[in-house]
């Protein structure tokens, strides 16, 4: 009987704590993971952004140049060029829903 009560308490604690583990919103994820290269406004005007040649996401032509699927893939798998990593992968840091929300967040930069 005592073991059953302990098991129920543990299960109950896990269920309750699962509800507390909420994913970060897109703005927070942008600030935490993207802003240092892409800038707060998506312009890519940071030192790292200029050095890496990131695109200005405020430009409608730039936005038209990639699909949501390509953006999702870039965030999930990272970006390499000539064998060099230009952007690291975030698949181990962000959930699929967080990545989807981040893509939608990037779309809002378009002028």
CB 75 within 8 A of CB 105: no
Summarised one tens digit per residue, pLDDT across range 4-34 is 555 545 665 554 444 444 578 999 999 999 9
Whole-prediction pTM = 0.77
* pLDDT value of position 5: 57
Q: Who wins on pLDDT, 2 or 88?
A: 88
Summarised one tens digit per residue, pLDDT across range 43-95 is 999 999 999 999 999 999 999 999 999 999 999 999 999 999 999 999 999 99
List Cα–Cα distances, 3 to 6, 7, 12, 110, in angstroms: 5, 6, 14, 58
- The residue count for the chain: 111
Give me the domains of the chain, ranges plus CATH numbers.
Answer: 24-107 (1.10.760.10)
């Amino acid at each position: 009987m005592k073991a059953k009560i302990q098991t129920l308490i543990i299960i109950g604690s896990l269920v309750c704590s699962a509800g507390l583990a909420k994913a970060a919103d897109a703005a927070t994820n942008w600030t935490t993971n993207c802003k240092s290269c892409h800038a707060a406004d998506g312009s890519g005007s940071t030192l790292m952004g200029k050095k890496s040649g990131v695109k200005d996401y405020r430009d409608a032509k730039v936005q038209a140049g990639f699909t949501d699927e390509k953006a999702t893939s870039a965030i999930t798998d990272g970006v390499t060029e000539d064998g060099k990593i230009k952007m690291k992968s975030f698949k181990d840091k962000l959930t699929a829903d967080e990545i989807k929300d981040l893509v939608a967040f990037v779309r809002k930069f378009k002028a």
